[in-house]
Amino acid sequence: MTLTNEGIPIEVHLRAEEWAGLLREDAAAGLTASPKELSPTWLYDDRGCDLFEQITRLPEYYPTRTERSILADRAGEIADISGADTLIELGAGSSEKTRLLLDAMANGGRLRRFQLFDVAEPTLRATAEAVASEYPALEVSGVVGDFRRHLDRIATGGRRMIAFLGGTIGNFDPAERAALLGELSATMAPGDTFLLGTDLVKDRARLVAAYDDAAGVTAAFNKNVLAVLNRELGADFDLDGFDHVARFDDDHEWIEMRLRSRGRQKVWVEGLDVALDFEPGEDIRTEISAKFRPAGVQAELAAAELDPVAWWTDPEGDYGVSLSVR
């Protein structure tokens, strides 16, 4: 347990040496595979978090503003149905939209605790301090951890609403989603609720544009993972030697972000003691972002013994928010 400068308790379950070990393990497996891939976890260093916040404000990137509009319209209803006094946010980031839920819970006279869970420690600490200053009576805490390993460390007690917003559930493939939802469900006590944001299937051109903006911010965000590998693993990736690519996979109904080699090149990764050969046009897949259909969301929740009690969407049906109980 550590404290922020303002005395907010932060549990750090992913320390620098453990983070470095996980990066080596993931990179060794993914970059020597065929085809090559990396976990989207490594997109989110401090610069990656900042770039993603910029992405959420781009005109092409509809998910954030659409989810926010649903929460703005329905936060009071969500708070009333959940009856929660504790909000736990997974993948908190800046918690910008979460203020809508905190306000609704406070207006209902129930708000007592807020816990942030995120992989990026500096971002989490900054957000925790910002929220604590805005809500002086609120008990704020944080957990620095990895979805794949540390969900059992989230706060217990009280009547909890666990929020997983931003469509982040789509970064996991079906098997990973099933494991994640099952683990979350197992942590829930009677009276707890689970609030999930899911981006829905829509026009392919709009989907691709959301991940390949005209200003090139998403391209910079994607290429930043190569800078992470250069810094943390002593690699010598030339960021200008790769192009950002976003494509929609119709079979899986998900967006894939890739980094495509512009030509034949060799990359040395000192921390792995390995040389990587890239052919012209060869890709590294860096992220998937699954898009859902309402029936599919309900089926995946049901498989994890989660029963949706409410479903909200925007007028265009672009995005869905569900509230479930175990």
Write out the chain's pLDDT in tens, 326 residues: 676 666 789 999 877 788 888 899 999 999 999 999 999 989 988 899 899 999 999 999 999 999 999 999 999 999 999 999 999 999 888 888 999 999 999 999 999 999 999 988 888 899 999 999 999 999 999 999 887 788 888 999 999 999 999 999 999 999 999 999 999 999 999 999 999 999 999 999 999 999 999 999 999 999 999 999 999 999 999 999 999 999 999 999 999 999 999 999 999 999 999 999 999 999 999 999 999 999 999 999 999 999 999 999 999 999 999 999 99
106, 84 Cβ separation under 8 angstroms:
no
> Which of 147, 100, 104, 169 shows the shortest CA–CA distance to 324?
169
Q: Is residue 143 within a helix (H) or strand (E), and if so which, with residue range?
A: strand 139-144
Q: pTM of the entire structure?
A: 0.93
Tens digit of each residue's pLDDT (9 = 90 or more) over 240-291: 999 999 999 999 999 999 999 999 999 999 999 999 999 999 999 999 999 9
Q: Which pLDDT score is estimated for 233?
A: 97
The 3-state DSSP class for residue 161 equals: strand
CB 119 within 8 A of CB 44: yes
Token reading at 256: 């894939």
For residues 181 and 170, what is the distance between their CA atoms, to the nearest angstrom?
A: 12
Here the tokens at position 86 are 């504790």
CATH of domain 2-10+58-203+292-325: 3.40.50.150
Domain boundaries, the chain: 2-10+58-203+292-325
How many CB atoms are located within 10 Å of the residue 39 CB? 19
Residues 6+ apart with CB under 8 A from 34: none
State the Cα–Cα distance between residues 142 and 131, nearest whole angstrom. Answer: 11
